Structure formats: C-alpha cells, structure tokens
Structure 1
C-alpha cells in the first residue's frame, strides 16, 4: 500500500475529528529485539504512525537524547539492512500501521537511491524523512521513491518563508513535518499558540496533513499540538525511557530490582500509551 497506507490513516482520523499520534523509535536502541518488541506493541499503545530511525554517526538535527540513541544503536552493530529487516518482521504481523523511515543522506547515498527505495518498499515501508536532503537536490531520490510508491516527507521550520515553502512542498507526499522550534530535537518545548498560524499556512500550501514534532515531551504539550495539527510526533520523550531504563539497570545488580523495573520496551510502551491518549482525546476535551 505504501503512500496509500499513510493517506488512509489520516483520512480515518480526520473522519473521527482526531489527530494522529506518531511515535518515533531508533532502530537497534539498545538492540534489535527490543526495538521489535516496541514496534509490535506501539499500535496497541495508540500509535497511528511509526517513525523508525536508522542510526547515523552525525545526526545534526538531533538533541542529546536521540544522538545517544544513535550511538547505542551503532555500538550494537545496527546496519541499514537490519532496519529493513525490522520493517519486514513488523509487516508480518501488521499490515495497517504506516511506517516512516527517518535518517540522514549518507546511508541512503551509500546504498544508492534505487536500491534503497526498492528494498524499503519490499520490506513494507511507506515513507522516508531525510533530514539533511535539500529539496533542490532531491529529484533523483524523489524519482526512485515515487517509482516504488514511497512518500518523501519534507520538513518545514519556523524560518521557512512563503517562497521557500513552495519549494519544500513540491513533490512532498503523505504529510508535511513541521519543526515546531528552532534548534534540535528534544531540547525546547513546543508552544501550540505560537505555531498555530504557521501550521495553518503550511497545510494550505501543501494541501497535505501537517505533523508537528521537535519539542513534544509531555501529555499536555502533545494535547495542545493535537488541537491545531493533524499529528503530533514524539521521539525524545520515548527514547528517554530507554535511557532511564539502562541507567537503572546499570545502577543495580539485584535481580529482584531489575524485575521490578520491567523491560525497556514496557517502559516505552507505557509512555506511548499516555501520550497517545492525550493526543486522541485533545479535541474532545477542548469541546468539553
């Protein structure tokens, strides 16, 4: 289904007058099996769309939380082929939840556009976000993705003016990702009131749903974004649960304490459930 899977999910949520909860997880953090446990549990936890990061050694748009996640993933030996394999395993149990791959150009360039797009499509991915790919240089990648019916999803930011926005939305499919703050992920808190006008402007220019990310860390902030945008994207707040779990595990050697602390995947899914509920109930709560 690919792009159609994304379009269908947004259409369903629009009919319900609710925003989408998009959950980000870094593939291979802290290992591939934990990532798979998280992936297969996210739909039941309320995730409408999943962003699956592929690790890169210089994630320039990321704050410390996702930088460390990429480092842990690379240290565990995660390769791009492992990311595709995770998507393929997920598709064996879930044919409905869209999966967006998110990362940087170097791994895509290394594999080659055509091979990347074909392999991603065969695995069951629906879209791609490449943080450091300027629209002016994206035609060859767009061609390869279009040929395999995979959406290239671009970023708009608070500094994207009206002229630049026309370039950004060109050949964008699925949805537009609006970066709510100037800076890196997981550092500043998103302010819905401050970005409401910009979100509306981006939606009109693109004629696509607008997902807002970078700076959504709590249920309250997720709900406030859900009231103005078509989707709220949460990454660092989920990845932090893995970091906290690892720190707690390393701080004790008592088996009982480890068992009481649960698993890394359980912690992530617990957090995702809270955030998803906040997103899905936001508009109803506003009416009440």
Structure 2
C-alpha cells in the first residue's frame, strides 16, 4: 500500500526535485499557535512535516527540542491532542505527509494496536521512534507497516556496513541520515562529510535518503540537499518559535530553508 510519503517522493523524483522536511514540536508554545504554524508549512514549501510528540525524557534531542517539548507539555499537550492537531491539519490538507516523531513510552502505554489505529485515522503517514532498535521490530515497526504506516529509521555516521543491512531491513518511506554524532542542534552538517555516507547508504537501498541535524541556514539546506534526496531542519525552526517569533516570521524563515533545498 502506498502512503502519502511514497506518493510525495515519487512526485519529487518525477520532477527532479529535492525534498524539504520541517520538524515542529506539536503544541509548542501552545496548541493553537502550533496548529497555525503546521497549517502554514506546505505554503512555505515544506514537502513532508515531521511532527514531534512531546515526551518527558527525549534522549536524542538537544536543548532546543527538549525545551520545546517542555513548553508543549506545560501547555497541556498530550498524545491525544497531538493526534487532534493532525486531524485538524487534515481538514484542509489531505496530501502533505506527516511523520510523527517521538519515543516508544507513550505509544506502549496507549497500546500499540490502539495507537496505530488512532494515528492512521488522524492522518499520520509514518513514524520515527528513536528508542526502538531494529532488534525490537516486532514491537512496533512490523505492526506499523501492516497498518499502512511507514516506519522510518535513522542511520548515523557510526552505522557501519555490518549494521546497515539490519537498519534498512524493515525501513520504508525514507531513510533519515543523521549527519553528525550526538544530539539535535549540536553541530553543523558538512556536505563534504555527508556526501560519501549518503552514497554508501544508497548502494544498499532504493529508498530516498534525507539528511538532518546541523542544518540551520538556506545555504546549508541547499548544500546538504545537493548531496542527498533532501534536507530536514528542526532545531533552527523550533528555536525561532521558542524565541517568540510571530507565525509569519517563522514561516518566512521556513520558506527560505525550503527554497535552499529546492535550489539544489
């Protein structure tokens, strides 16, 4: 079964264009502002929306995303309200893919089957769950694919040739290549380092390779997209929201990043 993610990448491939993915923490700084930003993303040139599910112990995230999660939780954001936000977005946009990015604990607490049914109904297309390694595929990855959701894996600079086949085994939608070792927002991505790694992963899969972590300017977005199938930006956008920038200002910044990736 083809998802919105599969359809989007097929369309981009046909047009010879690179993808721009934007990460937003659901409910940051509050539900209404967050929904307004998310609704504005497609118009700003975003091809895929990565929606963060706030969690109390986000171990893969740097301070910027951690603070966004805290703001969202303090504003009353929950798994249910995150799914509500996706539903509200789907009322006016039935084509832009949404990837829900989070941790396994809230999903496990809800019950995997219940969660997958609710996520699918809410209009979620794929999942990134960073604390479930491939060895745990039967927990969520395999059931998610069976439910018609893509399960997107992270590959990193430390994913060697022995590990890579295991990482790619049940991955679908796209591969998210983490350009640096460490947490989000920690260092800058360099196209010279990323290019050979993307080529190495491409030799092992037909899936699109999208690169994230350490991309914070339109120039960087363009440079990274030029050596991959697209770029994802999170911390740089989230920090603008955290600084209290207006929705219009945030979307203007997103548009500049998207233009960078699309110029690649």
The alignment's TM-score, normalised by the length of structure 1, stands at 0.89
Task: Give the Cα separation in 2 of the matches to 1:41 and 1:211.
Answer: 22
| Residue number in structure 1 paired with 2:251 | 269
State which structure, 1 or 2, has the greater radius of gyration over its C-alpha atoms: 1
Structure (1 or 2) with the greater helix fraction? 1
Structure 2 residue 106 is matched with structure 1 residue 124:
no
After superposing the two structures, state which structure 1 stretch, 197-206 or 56-65, moved more.
197-206
Contact kept? 2:20, 2:46, Cα under 8 Å = yes
The one-character-per-residue Cα deviations of 1:227-246 (angstroms, maximum 9, x if unpaired) are 0111100000100111222x
| Residue number in structure 2 paired with 1:286 | none
After superposing the two structures, state which structure 1 stretch, 198-207 or 173-182, moved more.
198-207
**Divergent runs of 4+, >2 A:** none
Structure 2 residue 101 is matched with structure 1 residue 107:
no
| Residue number in structure 2 paired with 1:200 | 199
Q: For 1:178, what is the secondary structure of its paired residue?
A: strand
| Residue number in structure 2 paired with 1:83 | 82
| Residue number in structure 1 paired with 2:167 | 168
Structure 2 residue 5 is matched with structure 1 residue 24:
no
| Residue number in structure 2 paired with 1:254 | none
Q: For 1:62, what is the secondary structure of its paired residue?
A: coil
| Residue number in structure 2 paired with 1:156 | 155
Contact kept? 1:34, 1:264, Cα under 8 Å = no
Task: Give the Cα separation in 2 of the matches to 1:171 and 1:121.
Answer: 19
| Residue number in structure 2 paired with 1:93 | 92
Q: Alignment RMSD, CA only?
A: 1.1
Q: CA deviation at 1:276?
A: 0.6
| Residue number in structure 2 paired with 1:256 | none
Contact kept? 1:19, 1:279, Cα under 8 Å = yes
The one-character-per-residue Cα deviations of 1:101-133 (angstroms, maximum 9, x if unpaired) are 001111111111111111000001000000111
Q: For 2:140, what is the secondary structure of its paired residue?
A: helix
Q: For 2:243, what is the secondary structure of its paired residue?
A: helix
Q: CA deviation at 1:146?
A: 1.9
The one-character-per-residue Cα deviations of 1:145-175 (angstroms, maximum 9, x if unpaired) are 1222001101000000011000000111100
The one-character-per-residue Cα deviations of 1:205-256 (angstroms, maximum 9, x if unpaired) are 12200010011011111000110111100000100111222xxxxxxxxxxx
Structure 2 residue 240 is matched with structure 1 residue 241:
yes
Q: For 1:205, what is the secondary structure of its paired residue?
A: coil
| Residue number in structure 2 paired with 1:259 | none
Task: Give the Cα separation in 1 of the matches to 2:260 and 2:46.
Answer: 12
Task: Give the Cα separation in 1 of the matches to 2:43 and 2:121.
Answer: 24
Contact kept? 2:168, 2:205, Cα under 8 Å = yes
Q: CA deviation at 1:203?
A: 2.1
Instruction: Please show how residues 173-184 of structure 1 align to structure 2 within 5 Å.
Output: 173-184=172-183
Any stretches of 5+ residues in structure 1 without a counterpart? Answer: 246-262, 283-288
Task: Give the Cα separation in 1 of the matches to 2:242 and 2:140.
Answer: 34
Q: For 2:67, what is the secondary structure of its paired residue?
A: helix
Contact kept? 1:104, 1:131, Cα under 8 Å = yes
Q: CA deviation at 1:143?
A: 2.8
After superposing the two structures, state which structure 1 stretch, 212-221 or 7-16, moved more.
7-16
Q: How many residues align?
A: 264
Contact kept? 1:176, 1:206, Cα under 8 Å = no
